Amino acid sequence: MSANELAKRYGQALLTLAEEQSIQRQVADELKALVALIGRERLLKDCLANPTIPVAAKQAILDQIMAPAFNPLTRGFVGLLVRNRRAALLAELVQFLETRLDEKEGRVEVRVESALPMTDADHADFLRRLTQWLNKKVELKIAVVPELLAGITIRIGDHLIDGSCRGQLTRMRQVLMA
């Protein structure tokens, strides 16, 4: 079974348990914070990835980190992942949880790359139009990418709408080369 499939299974199980207590977002946020900490702290990352370090030692380290602020469900779930040697799934699991919670809450992340910076008015208008078009709460992330030459690209989940000059030139080249 692939890591992605395992992350989905663990994630669905965790969501079911969290829904019983109505703490889905809290659990996802705690796991996201833990993943960010592991990403920042190389020693912690190396410790979790090292198969020669006993599972009990890894659990003790994570318990000390999580005990003061994390929910018992989150702590127990991370302990389960460590005992089953699945701590490497944490980042994929967080991504799955956030995607699933966003779907349930009617929220969607839209990534926009623009050749030029947008004004505040353009940003607000773009956000309003996307919200109407998608009929969801839109979390808009805009990046300036001068390599686009002109225009924008819009990524909504797995869908890409390429309205950039670079994209048009690439498509023209493909047609001419065919």
- Mean pLDDT lowest among 32-41, 85-94, 159-168: 159-168
Per residue in 21-45, pLDDT (tens digit) is: 888 888 888 888 888 988 888 888 8
Q: How many folded domains does the chain comprise?
A: 2
For the purposes of burial, counting CB atoms within 10 Å of the CB of 155, is it exposed (0-12), middle (13-18) or buried (19 or more)?
middle
Q: Is the pLDDT of residue 70 over 80?
A: yes
Contact, 31 vs 93, CB < 8 A? yes
The band of 92, judged by pLDDT with boundaries at 50, 70 and 90, is: confident
Query: Stretch 79-99: mean pLDDT, rounded?
Result: 85
Instruction: Tell me the sheet residues that pair with 140.
Output: 110
Q: Are residues 114 and 98 both part of a single domain?
A: no
Helix intervals (H) in the chain: 3-21, 24-40, 42-49, 55-66, 72-83, 90-104, 120-134, 165-177
What pLDDT score was predicted for residue 3?
A: 67
What pLDDT score was predicted for residue 1?
A: 60
pTM above 0.75, yes or no: no
Contact, 101 vs 26, CB < 8 A? no
Q: Is the pLDDT of residue 132 over 80?
A: yes
Q: Are residues 153 and 133 both part of a single domain?
A: yes
| Domain end marker among 102, 126, 146 | 102
| Domain end marker among 102, 118, 139 | 102
Q: Are residues 83 and 151 both part of a single domain?
A: no
Residue 128 domain boundaries: 106-177
What pLDDT score was predicted for residue 100?
A: 85
Residues 6 or more apart from 30 whose CB is under 8 A from it?
Answer: 66, 69, 70, 71, 74
Query: Stretch 137-155: mean pLDDT, rounded?
Result: 83
**Looking at residue 91, which CATH number applies to its domain?**
1.10.520.20
Q: Over the chain, what is the mean pLDDT? A: 83
Pick from 111, 100, 103: nearest CA to 136: 103
Q: Are residues 168 and 123 both part of a single domain?
A: yes
What pLDDT score was predicted for residue 110?
A: 84
| Domain end marker among 51, 83, 102 | 102
What pLDDT score was predicted for residue 49?
A: 84
